[in-house]
Amino acid sequence: MTAAPPILEVRGLAKRFPPRSGQASSPWILADLSFCVAEQEFLTIVGPSGAGKSTLLNILAQVDDATEGRILFRGEAIRTANGTQLKPGWNCQIGYVTQDDNLLPWRTMIENVMLPLRLQGRLDVGAKDRVAELLRATNLIGFEGYYPHELSGGMRKRASLIRTLAYDPPIILMDEPFSAVDAQTRAHLQQDLLRLWNLGRKTIIFVTHDISEAIALGDRLLVLSKSPAKVIAEHPISIRRPRDLGNIYKLEGFGDIFECVRRALQ
Amino acid sequence: MKWSVLIDRFIAFVLVIAGWQVCSIYFGPIWFSSPLRVLDRFIEEARSGDLWFQTEYTLKAALYGSLLGGIPAALLPFALRRHPVASAILDPYLVGGYGVPKLALAPLFILWFGVDLEPKVALVASIVSFLVFFSTAAGVSAVNAQYVSAARVFGATERDIARHIVWPGAIPYVFAGFRIAVPYAIGAAVVGELISANRGLGFLVQSGATDFDTTLVFVALTTLTVLVVTINLFVSRCERWLLRWRPPQQRLAAGAAGA
């Protein structure tokens, strides 16, 4: 894993929001945060709620700006210290699946899934085949013409997931994408995600506050401290793939990592 | 709709008509005419084509004015969205313009545009434009920031965002503006005709009243009411079709608010 060149490198990232009126300064949300992600790696990040996990992903997705630090994408700086203008998604190189599905309510499911491709002018036969394959893989066939409000929570999640997978950005950021669904749907979605990831391996940075989820999905796990967030622990996860998520708790290594992470978070 | 509601509505209608009839008998038909007289006269006027002749004129003024005032007013907030400085400059003037009692402008419009259709169109446009503008502006500023941010990440340009996110999100507000504007548009056309005209339903009201022909006045008023209700129904239909993506309970709430 360490042999692969990093696709994304984060160095000394720090963030604080502008102080509110009447306040001299505002607290740091992120402080001296550094890590690397390798090409095709599934990196999971756990941290306590309110630790700035979403802020971190917003910065990586270029939706928000950092106060200090550098971000390198394949060796190229996408953020320099003096902060040039933000380019959300870095020219469609960085996908972002947020906590809310953000499907447009006035578009049918298939129109939502194809919207990025359409906007990027890449909606050709190959792309349509790819979308069809993703729909099959996520059991969404037959629901193409439904509006988001007519779909179940799990279906909406899957649709929002394949909307990003369909245009195939090399890195995908995921911000607790399965936090708003019930436990059973969640287990299905996790299995779906791993299956999709196996279809075409990409780099995924998956943020969650659920330790089991982080272990079950990732190749490597980072633990963030309470705010201001920095990396306080790192665990490679060597559980063999393909993983049976139903029995993940019984697999060798799971218990040890879980215990370590839990202690680190306290 | 439930049958019981329809029946109750019918009962309410009968009560109103009966009340009118009682007034007519008590105060005399010279002041109140009577439901039956109005119905007779309505049929007579409709048959002769005179009613349509007058209605057409009022309808034209209301329609042209609504389009002339409403369409630019619905587009302006989209243009201003990307220009905060321009909108900050314009804001007090728009608020001030909204505050001007437009009906008081009628004599000015007559001075400028004469006594034919043009001053009525101008009056309607001046009223409709502000109603539609403020409603649309509310819709444009209520755009879901998360949709915009997500769209930027997957490569949407500002134009794409306007077209795929801001515009569809604001359509319900545009419709709300127009739905509110319908009775005002008809009303403005009628006021324009009351002041100076030789045609239109407002003229009919005016000439009926001067001749002590209350029946004619009521015929004109009934026609106006039917007109507004019909147009509202039409706008609601269009809206329902355009907004068929909305969940049913949301649609119901919007319908109840607009009805």
Which positions 220-259 of B are in contact with A (Cβ < 8 Å)? 243, 245-247
pLDDT of residue A201: 85
Mean pLDDT within A81-92: 75
Distance of alpha carbon B166 from alpha carbon B43, whole angstroms: 48
Contact A99, A93 (CB under 8 A): no
**Whether ipTM exceeds 0.90:** no
- Smallest Cα distance from A242 to chain B, Å: 30
Which tokens sit at A196?
A: 């999709």
- Smallest Cα distance from B237 to chain A, Å: 17
Q: Where residue B193 sits, what CATH number does that domain have?
A: 1.10.3720.10
Q: Which of B147, B152, B154, B174 to mutate to test the interface with A (most CBs of A within 10 A)?
A: B154
The pLDDT tens digits of the residues spanning A28-43 come to 889 889 999 999 999 9
Contact A262, A255 (CB under 8 A): no
Q: Burial, A173: exposed, middle or buried (Cβ in 10 Å; 0-12, 13-18, 19+)? A: buried
What order do you get walking across the sheet with A68-73 strand by strand? A30-38, A6-15, A68-73, A76-79
Beta bridge partners, A68, equal A14
The pLDDT tens digits of the residues spanning A200-242 come to 888 999 999 899 999 999 999 999 998 888 899 899 998 888 8
**B225 and B146, same structural domain?**
yes
Question: According to DSSP H, which parts of chain A are helical?
Answer: 53-60, 109-119, 125-137, 153-166, 183-199, 211-217, 254-265
**B10 and B44, same structural domain?**
no
Higher pLDDT, A11 or B2: A11
Instruction: Point out the residue among A95, A115, A167 whose CB comes nearest to the CB of B164.
Output: A115
> What is the torsion angle, in degrees rounded to the nearest 10, for the CA atoms of residue A39, residue A44, residue A48 and residue A52?
30
| Residue B257's pLDDT band (cuts 50, 70, 90) | very low
**B19 and B147, same structural domain?**
no
HSE at residue A164, side-chain half, CA atoms within 13 A, is 33
A65 touches chain B (CB under 8 A): no
pLDDT of residue B251: 53
Contact B146 A120 (CB under 8 A): no
pLDDT of residue B62: 96
Contact B168 A100 (CB under 8 A): no
In which domain, by residue range, is B94 found? 39-258
Instruction: Point out the residue among A62, A147, A167 whose CB comes nearest to the CB of B154.
Output: A167
**B101 and B46, same structural domain?**
yes
Which tokens sit at B169?
A: 């999100």
pLDDT of residue A84: 63
- Smallest Cα distance from B146 to chain A, Å: 7
The total number of structural domains that make up chain B: 2
Residue A110 neighbours by CB under 8 Å, 6+ apart: A131, A135, A144, A145
The pLDDT tens digits of the residues spanning A113-149 come to 999 999 999 989 999 999 999 999 889 999 999 999 9
The pLDDT tens digits of the residues spanning B17-52 come to 999 999 999 998 888 899 999 999 999 999 999 999
3-state class percentages of chain A: helix first, strand second, coil last, to nearest 5 = 35, 25, 45
Q: Burial, A177: exposed, middle or buried (Cβ in 10 Å; 0-12, 13-18, 19+)? A: buried
Is the confidence at residue A156, as pLDDT, over 90?
Answer: yes
CB pairs under 8 A between A and B: 62
The pLDDT tens digits of the residues spanning B119-169 come to 999 999 999 999 999 999 999 999 999 999 999 999 999 999 999 999 999
**B83 and B2, same structural domain?**
no
The topology under which CATH files domain A39-68+82-265 is Rossmann fold (3.40.50)
First to last CA, chain A: 29
The pLDDT tens digits of the residues spanning A175-205 come to 999 887 888 888 889 998 998 898 888 899 9
A104 touches chain B (CB under 8 A): yes
Domain residue spans in chain A?
39-68+82-265
Percent of chain A at pLDDT > 70 equals: 96
Contact A116 B147 (CB under 8 A): no
Is the confidence at residue B255, as pLDDT, over 60?
Answer: no
**B110 and B5, same structural domain?**
no
A73 touches chain B (CB under 8 A): no
- Of B154, B157, B246, whose CA–CA distance to A162 is shortest? B154
Contact B217, B205 (CB under 8 A): yes
Instruction: Point out the residue among A105, A106, A119 whose CB comes nearest to the CB of B155.
Output: A119
Pick from A50-54, A58-62, B108-112, B253-257: least confident = B253-257
Contact B212, B30 (CB under 8 A): yes
Residues of B in contact with A92 (CB under 8 A): 154-155
Contact A236, A220 (CB under 8 A): yes
